[in-house]
């Protein structure tokens, strides 16, 4: 059943985000073609060509930003429409558990986030291929990775990477689901309720993390001038921060599940 | 006949308002039951609790001996009072989706019913008229071989011709071993199809009797009794 739920969640999400990815990559290709066709050397520039390039560049930038925001908006809308609006009358009477609904939405959302990241990277290729040498790009990536590995992943590198992927793919989605679900507890002010839940999440999580950070920072100052100690300290701070957020998201997941199970109140 | 729905002291409150008030009730299989009452009498709230869409404030509700959950949803076919299907999907995709999720769904039966209505399965659900959307939803609900059908206001808001179609579809397609719970305030239209009538007034059960008993013992039609009980 989980596979079937994921299939339908992916369909619901992809019908919005795939056209956006197509526009992103298409506008990137179009931009490159235009730049290749028209020469912008000042005197010989054609005004129509300039406007055309400007419009395509504008579409590209908007869809680039859209890839980041629209994906999360679609994830939120899909969750709200499937479980909290009229469609909830159908989806919530399917013979599946609340966990399955949540996991399905998280996995489908994660797939779309990964797709958006890929679309983001692919959209750069038409713009830079031929302009930047591939070995230079690879060297840049490899140097960056070496820096991260040396200073941030000095200790528990694998664990940090796994948890970071978890937080990046699922954490933000869990917060969205949690806020929307809490919002439905205020029957006449669901959006306001979701917004207040989000503010509450921000205040609580940031306050607690600030308290921990201020305590931890005192101790980490000792020996900070030593590069090995600095690397180890950075790794520890990173790991602690990520674990902290994993715990927050786990609590919010459980709270979402409990509200769905015991306090569900769709209109 | 075996019990399919059992409610004990079932209560649902919304703040200070009580929608369902200490309801004690059992429904048996093999009957068509009318859940009758004016607007705001608690019919939809009761049906939502059967389907696990609302959590009771107190009391208990059991479907086939279990609390609403995965097992009860497997055997309950629910027709909500509003269009609840994903409106961006085509009708044939909706049929496929029902096939995917409900093992008791009879695809052939659904396709035959759709063909009777001359509905193009390639059409998107949202492009259909409101009446046709309700009919598609009804067809999908009735194409299941469920043990309990919960039909919430299936004839509310449609013209008399569509009402006839809907009632005919229900009668021709329900599993005779099952219980069919029809919530409505349009008594005259459903009276001839009912085996049992439940009157809900302000969340309280004020009558639970067979239609035959109502006619024989009280010498009235269900509609006449309804008008008497709920007279303003």
For residue A138, the 8-state DSSP code is H
Closest-approach residue (CA) in chain B for A82: B86
Helix (H) or strand (E) holding A125: helix A98-128
A184 to chain B nearest CA, in Å?
Answer: 12
ipTM for this prediction: 0.87
Interchain CB distance below 8 Å, B85 and A90: yes
Which token pair is A89?
């009358």
Q: How far is it, in rounded angstroms, from Cα B230 to Cα A218?
A: 74
Nearest by CB: A87 against B69, B74, B86: B86
Q: Which candidate in B48, B64, B84, B134 is best for mutational testing of the A interface (most A CBs within 10 A)?
A: B84
With CB atoms and an 8 Å threshold, state whether A4 touches B74: no
Report chain A residues whose CB lies below 8 A from the CB of B70: 95-97
Q: Where are the beta strands (DSSP E) in B48-195?
A: 58-63, 76-79, 148-152, 179-184
3-state helix, strand, coil in chain A (%, to 5): 85, 0, 15
- Cα–chain-centroid distance for residue B98? 18
For residues A151 and A233, the answer to whether their CB atoms sit within 8 Å is no
Cα–Cα distance between A71 and A28 in angstroms, integer?
19
Å between B125 CA and nearest CA of chain A:
13
SS3 string, B148-176, reads EEEEECCCCCCCHHHHHHHHHHHHHHCCC
The SS3 call for residue B84 is coil
Using a CB-CB cut-off of 8 Å, the residues of chain B touching A15 are 88
Angstroms from A204 CA to nearest CA on chain B:
28
CA distance B222 to chain A (A): 30
User: CA–CA separation, B89 vs B57, rounded Å?
Assistant: 36
Asked if A97's CB is within 8 angstroms of B53's CB, the reply is no
CA distance B77 to chain A (A): 9
- For A86, which residue in chain B has the nearest alpha carbon? B84
Measured CA to CA, the distance from residue A69 to residue A20 in angstroms comes to: 11
Q: Do the chains contact at A12 and B86, CB–CB below 8 Å?
A: yes
CB contacts, 8 Å: B51 with chain A: 92-93
Answer whether residue B84 shows pLDDT above 90. Answer: no
Mutate which of A13, A78, A93 to test chain B, going by most B C-beta atoms within 10 A?
A93
Residues of B in contact with A93 (CB under 8 A): 51-53, 73, 76, 78
CA gap A217, A240 in Å, rounded: 12
Residue count of chain B? 232
Helices B160-173 and B130-142 pack at an angle, to 10 degrees, of 10
Domains recognised in chain B with CATH numbers: 3-229 (3.40.50.300)
**pLDDT at res. A86:** 87
- Three-state SS for A1? coil
pLDDT (0 to 100) of residue A48 = 76
* Neighbouring residues of A220: CB distance < 8 A, sequence distance ≥ 6: A233, A236, A237
Compute the C-alpha angle A144/A212/A207, nearest 5°: 100
Q: How far apart are CA B57 and CA A202, in angstroms?
A: 31
Burial of A4 (0-12, 13-18, 19+ CB in 10 A): middle
CA distance A80 to chain B (A): 13
pLDDT at B6 over 90: yes
Q: Residues in chain A, how many? A: 267
Q: Do A86 and B82 touch (CB under 8 A)?
A: yes
Distance from CA of B215 to the nearest CA of A (A): 36
Beta-sheet pairing, B196-201 with B32-36: parallel
| Strand partners for B5 | B27, B63
pLDDT tens for residues B164-190?
Answer: 877 887 788 777 788 999 998 888 888
Q: What's the mean pLDDT in B86-90?
A: 91
In Å, what is the CA distance from A203 to each residue of A196, A197, A207, A243, A251? 10, 10, 6, 18, 16
Pairs of residues, one from chain A and one from chain B, whose beta carbons lie less than 8 Å apart: 60
Say if residues B197 and B25 touch (Cβ distance below 8 Å).
no
Task: Please tell me which residue of chain B has the smallest CA distance to A9.
Answer: B86
Whether B135 shows a pLDDT value over 60: the answer reads yes
Chain centroid to CA A113: how far? Answer: 6
pLDDT < 50 regions, chain A: 43
Q: In this structure, are residues B136 and B119 in contact, taking their beta carbons and an 8 Å threshold?
A: yes
Inter-chain touch B85–A94, beta carbons under 8 Å: no
Q: How far is Cα A191 from Cα A139, in angstroms, rounded to an integer?
A: 47
Give the C-alpha separation, B141 to A12, whole Å. Answer: 22
Nearest by CB to residue A264, choosing from B53, B83, B88, is: B53
DSSP H or E segment with residue B13: strand B3-14
Residue A168 per-residue DSSP state: I
Rounded Cα–Cα distance for residues A133 and A142 (Å): 15
């Amino acid at each position: 059943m989980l596979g079937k739920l994921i299939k339908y969640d992916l369909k619901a999400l992809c019908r919005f985000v795939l056209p956006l990815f197509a526009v992103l990559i298409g506008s990137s290709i179009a931009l490159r073609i235009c730049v290749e066709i028209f020469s912008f050397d000042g005197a010989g520039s054609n005004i129509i060509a300039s406007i055309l390039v400007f419009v395509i560049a504008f579409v590209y930038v908007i869809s680039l930003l859209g890839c980041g925001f629209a994906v999360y908006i679609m994830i939120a809308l899909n969750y709200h429409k499937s479980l909290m609006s009229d469609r909830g009358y159908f989806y919530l009477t399917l013979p599946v558990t609340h966990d399955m609904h949540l996991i399905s939405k998280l996995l489908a959302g994660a797939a779309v986030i990964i797709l958006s990241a890929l679309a983001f990277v692919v959209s750069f290729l038409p713009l830079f291929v031929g302009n930047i040498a591939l070995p230079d790009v690879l060297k840049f990536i490899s140097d960056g990775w070496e820096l991260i590995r040396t200073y941030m992943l000095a200790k528990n590198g694998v664990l940090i990477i796994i948890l970071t992927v978890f937080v990046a793919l699922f954490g933000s989605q869990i917060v969205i689901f949690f806020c929307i679900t809490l919002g439905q507890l205020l029957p006449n002010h669901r959006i306001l309720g979701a917004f207040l839940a989000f503010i509450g999440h921000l205040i609580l999580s940031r306050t607690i993390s600030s308290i921990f950070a201020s305590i931890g920072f005192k101790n980490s100052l000792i020996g900070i001038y030593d590069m090995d100690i600095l690397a180890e300290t950075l790794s520890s701070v990173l790991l602690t921060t990520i674990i902290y957020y994993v715990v927050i998201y786990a609590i919010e997941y459980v709270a979402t599940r409990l509200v769905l199970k015991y306090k569900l109140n769709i209109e | 006949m075996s019990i399919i729905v059992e409610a004990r002291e079932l209560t649902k409150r919304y703040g200070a308002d009580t929608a369902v008030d200490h309801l004690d009730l059992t429904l048996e299989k093999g009957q068509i039951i009318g859940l009758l009452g004016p607007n705001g009498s608690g019919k939809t709230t009761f049906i939502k609790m059967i389907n696990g869409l609302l959590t009771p404030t107190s009391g208990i509700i059991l479907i086939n001996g279990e609390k609403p959950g995965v097992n009860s949803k497997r055997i309950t076919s629910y027709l909500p009072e509003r269009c609840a299907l994903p409106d961006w999907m085509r009708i044939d995709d909706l049929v496929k989706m029902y096939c995917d999720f409900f093992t008791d769904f009879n695809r052939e039966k659904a396709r035959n019913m759709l063909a009777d209505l001359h509905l193009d399965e390639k059409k998107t659900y949202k492009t259909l008229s409101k009446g046709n959307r309700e009919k598609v939803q009804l067809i999908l609900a009735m194409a299941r071989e469920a043990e309990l059908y919960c039909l919430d206001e299936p004839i509310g808001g449609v013209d008399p011709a569509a009402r006839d179609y809907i009632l005919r579809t229900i009668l021709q397609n329900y599993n005779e071993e099952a219980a069919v719970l029809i919530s409505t305030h349009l008594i005259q239209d459903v009276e001839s199809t009912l085996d049992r009538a439940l009157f809900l007034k302000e969340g309280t059960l004020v009558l639970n009797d067979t239609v035959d008993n109502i006619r024989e013992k009280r010498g009235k039609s269900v509609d006449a009794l309804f008008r008497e009980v709920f007279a303003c």
